[in-house]
Every structure is written in C-alpha cells, then in structure tokens.
Amino acid sequence: MNNRNYALGLGAMLLLAGCASERVVLLPSADGYRSAVVVRDATGELLLDKPYAAASRRVGSNSAYQATPEEVQQRFGAALAAQPMRPNSYILYFEPGGNVLTPESQAVLARMQQEIVERAAAEVMVIGHTDRVGSEQGNDALSKKRAEAVRNLLIDAGVAAEKLEAVGRGERDPLVATEDEVDEPKNRRVEINLR
C-alpha cells in the first residue's frame, strides 16, 4: 500500500470511528449503591462498573472508554431532563390489632396527600404488613385489610380510585425481624409507594 492509499484508508477508518453507532454510559447511582452494566454482543462482553465507564460501538465491536459528565450532558441532556420524578415511600403505623393509625401517622398521611397532588399523574401502591402475632393466614387478611383501609382513606381525601392499588404482604416482610408471636409495633405498618 502506498502512502497516499494508506492515508486514505486511515482517514476512512477515523471517519467510521467518528460516527460510533451505539454508546452506553454507566452513571453514578442516586442511592450510592454499587452498580454495573454488562454490554454483550456477538463477539463478547464488556463490564462497566465505575461511574462514567462507557462502551462505544465502532465498526462492528464494542470498546471501552471513560466518558465524562460533560459528554453525558451533551449527548443525553434531553433524555435525562425528561426523567420522571423519583418514586417516594411513606410508612404509616397502626395501633395494635386493628386498622386505626397512630397519631404520628395521621400527620404523615396529610403530607403524603399533598405530594400525591403535586406529582404529575401520580400512582399510589399501598402495601400492608403485620407483626407476627396470630396465624399467617390471619395476618395476610389483616395486612390486606390495613392496605384497603388506607386506600379508602386516600379515596375519601379525593385521590382517584384508579390511581390506587392495595396489596397485603402479611408477616412476610418485617421491618424488624422477630420471633413468631412477638408484638412489634414497627412491623404493623402500611408502606405507601408514590410514583
């Protein structure tokens, strides 16, 4: 290959490299947990496991590089700006054995109602939990009853019923691990996820 052809060939390769057709960039996670993405194609895989680690696809294969916050902003600013508001959780606690909220939780309920109004197209998932007093079946029913009680409170407060989903998880998912039959107030709760 003579020099001129070589220069042309190199130029063409640089041009191809310049119009990378695909790109993946790992971002720092909002909750601070370690995170990673594995990018696989027909020829192999790349692990991205540090903030701004990136894969760029040129001429048929993925290669790793380190992106910068500036590059991410320039290429992905519009997509990132459209990201929906982060989901948020509230926890409401109950007096023992029934579906009456503690006084503190009644105040939390009021704050939560405000957030439902402020969110764009808010959806609400109400998840009931119990302590370990009583049978599993009884607690399934009680957790569902608590979730539905909160769902009804929210409907009474003007939240549209179709935004609300109520589920009961019984004693399966305690906030504080206990022996069976322990009356643990922190486990008698309803978790509300707003998204």
Site residues (vs another protein, CB under 8 A): 19-30, 33-42, 48, 55, 57, 62, 72, 75-87, 119-121, 123, 125, 127, 165, 167-169, 193, 195
How many angstroms separate the CA atoms of 127 and 65, rounded? Answer: 43
Rounded to a whole number of angstroms, the minimum distance from the CB of residue 34 to another protein is: 8
Short-list 45, 130, 27, 44, CA closest to 36: 27
Token look-up 């957030």 returns 115
Residue 3 vs 74, nearer CB to another protein: 74
Rounded to a whole number of angstroms, the minimum distance from the CB of residue 84 to another protein is: 4
Rounded to a whole number of angstroms, the minimum distance from the CB of residue 75 to another protein is: 6
Residue 49 vs 95, nearer CB to another protein: 49
62 contacts 46 by C-beta, under 8 angstroms: yes
Encoded tokens for 124? 């609400």
Cα atoms found within 13 Å of the Cα of residue 61, Cβ hemisphere only? 6
Rounded to a whole number of angstroms, the minimum distance from the CB of residue 83 to another protein is: 4
Q: Measured on CA atoms in the order 183, 186, 189, 191, is the torsion positive or negative?
A: negative
Residue 178 vs 195, nearer CB to another protein: 195
Residue 95 vs 172, nearer CB to another protein: 172
